[in-house]
Amino acid sequence: MTLAEFDNEYRKNCKLVCGCDEAGRGPLAGDVFAAAVIFDEGTVIEGINDSKKLTEKKREKLFDEIKEKALYWSIKTASVEEIESINILKSAMLAMKRAVEDLPVKPDICLIDGNKTPELDVKATAIVGGDAKSQSIAAASILAKVARDRYMLEMAKKYPEWQFERHKGYGTKLHYEMIDKYGASEIHRQSFLKKYYAKLSEKQQKNG
């Protein structure tokens, strides 16, 4: 079954099928992004897949094609402040809820990547590995990922020391080296750094 055919199974009972996914739950810095996408029944976009399986160049190309060919699409975020206040899972759900509610129409069903659904006033189904099964979820994963990467490039200009353009906020060796050197920036998720700081402190005490 193709990704488009997967969505068409739901269209037998629901006219407007919306796919929804998020990007940026894992990084140590930056907002979490989510997107919602609705295609019509006949739309098939070649090469759509889980955004993590695509090259950056391919994602960029598909980003424009998805926006052009989708009936409706939306990209929304939850801020670092919200992540720190209510935790990352709830913030990811909040970003997805915002993306769905920002659509100009109300979908008949929302297919949500993962094993949890945000609180929506429409029918929602969680689909584990949905970004590799559903065209609309895969499209949403691409929109969210590309939008977040572009945002991190903007943050790199604002906070050049941490080299966000190279790691997009993820916990790479380089990123941790920059944190060691410069501390945390305004867009770092302090709650994500607690364990790292605790380990660092323990190491320093042992070596001290």
Domain of 61, CATH number, reads 3.30.420.10
Structural domain includes residue 178: no
Quote the pLDDT of residue 196.
85
**Residue found by looking up tokens 């913030």 in the block:** 91
Considering the domain boundaries, does residue 31 fall inside one?
Answer: yes
Does any domain span residue 78? yes
Mean pLDDT, residues 47-52: 81
Please report whether residue 165 resides in a domain: no
Question: Residue 49's pLDDT is what?
Answer: 80
Residue 25 located in a structural domain: yes
Domain membership of residue 36 (yes or no) is: yes
Question: What is the domain count for the chain?
Answer: 1
Read off the pLDDT of each residue in 102-120 and give the average, rounded to a whole number.
Answer: 97
- Residue 7 in any domain: the answer is yes
Q: What pLDDT, on the 0 to 100 scale, is given for residue 103? A: 98
Does residue 39 sit within a domain? Answer: yes
Query: Residues of the chain with pLDDT > 70: what percent?
Result: 97
What digits encode the pLDDT tens for the residues 133-171? 999 999 999 999 999 999 999 999 999 999 999 999 999
pLDDT of residue 55 exceeding 70: yes
Q: Structural domain of residue 22, as residue ranges?
A: 3-158
The per-residue pLDDT for 181 is 95
Q: What is the DSSP string of the chain?
A: --HHHHHHHHHTT-SSEEEEEEE-SS-SBS-EEEEEEE--TT---TT---GGGS-HHHHHHHHHHHHHH-SEEEEEEE-HHHHHHH-HHHHHHHHHHHHHHHSSS--SEEEEESS-----SSEEEEETTGGGT-HHHHHHHHHHHHHHHHHHHHHHHHSGGG-HHHHTT---HHHHHHHHHH---TTB-HHHHHHHHHHHHHHHHHH-
